[in-house]
Structure formats: structure tokens, C-alpha cells
Amino acid sequence: MNNLIGTFCDIDDFCKVFIPEWEARLITSGEKKRRRVKRMSNA
């Protein structure tokens, strides 16, 4: 189970760095797009 938690944390850390860089390099079409909060719900 600890290995699963460690893997999740590694992927989460990667996404925190990669996704903003990736979005900054995308070519936009000029449309306004919604930016939703990227986090898990508390439900």
C-alpha cells in the first residue's frame, strides 16, 4: 500500500510541474476556455 501512495505522490508532483508548462506552450484558438480547479473533491 505504501508503494501505491508513493507512486501517486510522484505522479502528482510531476503533474504540478508538467501541466502548467504544457499549457503555456499550447497554441490557442482564441476561444475563452474554463479553467477548473485541478484537485480531488472532499466528497
* Tens digit of pLDDT at every position of the chain (43 positions): 679 999 999 999 999 999 888 888 877 666 766 777 677 666 5
Nearby residues of 38 by Cβ (< 8 Å), 6 or more positions away: 15, 19
Sign of CA dihedral 37, 14, 20, 29: negative
pTM (two decimals): 0.54
Residue tagged 501541466 (cell numbers): 19
